[in-house]
């Protein structure tokens, strides 16, 4: 992938460590700097990798970098991405491109004006079964998609949640149930090439699961996306008991799915089936098999998120070196992320449809350039929405005391 490595700075010493490894060197990336405000952990991780450390993002941008990986807070990626792009850096951003529609517009403009590569670090399209279903779809195996389902439902033990969400202000503790939708939606868009044009959503709350915790959000949501192809995509997640990571597509000539199993990936099988009266010469009515990686199988098997943590690095480096467009570019990233925002608007209105702008079209996105509608405290303003169907609640003293005890165990003593 070229002789000179792509010099990378990573923001975030928690989730960011997946990008510090993840086959980065094989992909042609060289870690040279990391940035975080958690100074103690920053020093530990910096020493482990032997790289420069920064607590100030703008100072890190002055380092000799080609690219930046953003693994900071979920809703705070766009401002840093825009600063990096305008500093001449390529950007790989974790799986929410924008926290508001206004940020989405500004991010698209920054990519267009700078000509730098932007890629959403959405890893679920790159599981072995989703890569195989993409290959099958593009070969015409099931015809044109009519209906598809994506599920990313990831319940966790409460103390485990606390360990990855230190602090009352941590984004996981007030994430609206629709916002973390890209793991469900991205594989379907990546496989089919379809784009969302409108969104409906319903959320649901389980007080018996939520009230004993410091989390202020709801348990889960279902989103319906009308796509530009006319198809309907159904998305489900995110914290309902009963793990589910699963994808199914129905087309004009058959259907395919990842075979269901416990937890994330089950047996990593693909099932393809056709109605008997539609069979073409050489086709069979049903087959179930374990797919193979297209390349780099050993590295993919070792990486997290079903191999996706390797492939995001790999495709980011390829996009920088070749300039070839990818299906996780800024327009895809902003569209996928904005589905979560607009779905929350729909959920608060009990499922009313909300139109989705085409962020590829400057005129279509322009009316949203000042749309800062957001549940995050950093966007606080009159008329902003709550993070839950039940409004903005206050954790109990008992829940706060328990959370702080768990956070102290991992060395976090902040608020």
Listed in order, the ranges of the chain carrying CATH 3.30.360.10 are: 128-297+330-379
The pLDDT of residue 1: 42
Is residue 22 within 8 Å of residue 126, measured between CB atoms?
A: no
In whole angstroms, how far apart are CA 151 and each of 89, 251, 300, 339?
A: 34, 18, 22, 15
The pLDDT of residue 2: 47
From first to last of its 415 residues, the chain has per-residue pLDDT tens of 447 899 999 999 988 888 887 567 777 899 999 999 989 889 999 999 999 999 999 999 999 999 999 999 899 999 999 999 999 999 999 989 999 999 999 999 999 999 999 999 999 999 999 999 999 999 999 999 999 999 999 999 999 999 999 999 899 999 999 999 999 999 999 999 999 999 999 999 999 999 999 999 999 999 999 999 999 999 999 999 998 999 999 999 999 999 987 545 556 899 999 999 999 898 999 999 999 988 888 877 877 777 778 889 899 999 999 988 788 999 999 999 999 999 999 999 999 999 999 999 999 999 999 999 999 988 888 889 999 999 999 999 999 999 999 999 988 888 8
Which token pair is 10? Answer: 């990573």
Cβ neighbors of 288 (< 8 A, separation 6 or more) are 259, 269, 270, 271, 272
Is residue 178 within 8 Å of residue 349, measured between CB atoms?
A: no
Q: Does domain 6-120 have CATH number 3.30.450.20?
A: no
Is residue 258 within 8 Å of residue 247, measured between CB atoms?
A: yes
Predicted model pTM? 0.94
Tallying the residues shown for the chain, one arrives at 415
Q: Could you say which DSSP state residue 305 is in? A: G
Question: In whole angstroms, what is the distance from residue 405 CA to residue 413 CA?
Answer: 9
Out of 3.90.1580.10, 3.40.640.10, 3.30.360.10, 2.70.180.20, the CATH code matching 128-297+330-379 is 3.30.360.10
Helix (H, G, I), strand (E, B) or coil at 26: helix
Listed in order, the ranges of the chain carrying CATH 3.40.50.720 are: 6-120
In 3D space, the residue among 333, 328, 325 whose CA is nearest the CA of residue 311 turns out to be: 328
User: How would you class 183 by CB atoms within 10 Å of its CB: exposed for 0-12, middle for 13-18, buried for 19 or more?
Assistant: buried
In whole angstroms, how far apart are CA 175 and each of 172, 220, 375, 387?
A: 5, 11, 8, 6
The pLDDT of residue 265: 53
The pLDDT of residue 324: 84
Question: In whole angstroms, what is the distance from residue 28 CA to residue 380 CA?
Answer: 41
Which token pair is 59? Answer: 């100072």
Cβ neighbors of 186 (< 8 A, separation 6 or more) are 95, 120, 122, 124, 125, 328, 332, 336
Which token pair is 358? Answer: 């085409």
The pLDDT of residue 341: 98
Is residue 232 within 8 Å of residue 185, measured between CB atoms?
A: no
Q: Give just the sign of the alpha carbon dihedral 322, 183, 385, 165.
A: negative
The pLDDT of residue 23: 61
């Amino acid at each position: 992938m070229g002789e000179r490595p792509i010099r990378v700075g990573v923001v975030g010493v928690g989730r960011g460590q997946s990008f510090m490894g993840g086959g980065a060197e094989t992909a042609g990336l060289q870690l040279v700097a990391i940035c975080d405000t958690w100074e103690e952990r920053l020093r530990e991780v910096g020493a482990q990798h032997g790289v420069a450390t920064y607590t100030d993002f703008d100072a890190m941008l002055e380092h000799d970098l080609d690219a930046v990986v953003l693994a900071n807070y979920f809703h705070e990626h766009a401002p840093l991405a825009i600063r990096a792009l305008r500093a001449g850096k390529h950007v790989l951003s974790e799986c929410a491109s924008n926290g508001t529609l206004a940020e989405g517009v500004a991010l698209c403009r920054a990519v267009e004006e700078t000509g730098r590569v932007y890629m959403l670090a959405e890893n679920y399209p790159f599981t072995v079964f989703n890569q195989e279903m993409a290959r099958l779809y593009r070969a015409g195996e099931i015809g044109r998609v009519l209906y598809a389902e994506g599920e990313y439902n990831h319940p966790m033990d409460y103390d485990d949640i606390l360990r990855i969400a230190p602090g009352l202000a941590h984004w996981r503790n007030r994430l609206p149930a629709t916002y973390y939708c890209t793991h469900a939606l991205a594989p379907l868009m990546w496989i089919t090439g379809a784009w969302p044009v409108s969104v409906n959503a319903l959320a649901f709350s389980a007080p018996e699961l939520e009230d004993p915790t410091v989390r202020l959000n709801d348990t889960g949501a279902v989103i319906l996306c009308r796509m530009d192809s006319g198809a309907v995509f159904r998305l489900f997640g995110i914290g309902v008991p009963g793990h589910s990571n699963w994808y199914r597509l129905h087309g004009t000539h058959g259907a395919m799915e990842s075979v269901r199993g416990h937890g994330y990936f089950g047996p990593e099988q693909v099932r393809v089936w056709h109605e008997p009266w539609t069979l073409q010469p050489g086709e069979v009515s049903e087959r179930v098999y374990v797919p193979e990686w297209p390349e780099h199988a050993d590295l993919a098997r070792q990486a997290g998120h079903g191999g996706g943590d390797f492939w995001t690095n790999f495709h980011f480096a390829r996009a920088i070196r070749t300039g070839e467009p990818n299906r996780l570019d800024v327009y895809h990233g902003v569209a996928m992320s904005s589905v979560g925002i607009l779905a929350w608007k729909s959920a608060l209105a009990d499922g009313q449809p909300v139109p989705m702008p085409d962020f590829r079209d400057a005129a279509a996105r322009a009316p949203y350039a000042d749309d800062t509608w957001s549940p995050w405290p950093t966007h606080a303003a009159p008329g902003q929405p709550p993070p839950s169907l039940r409004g903005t609640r206050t954790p109990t003293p008992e829940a706060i005391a328990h959370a702080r005890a768990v956070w102290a165990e991992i060395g976090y003593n902040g608020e």
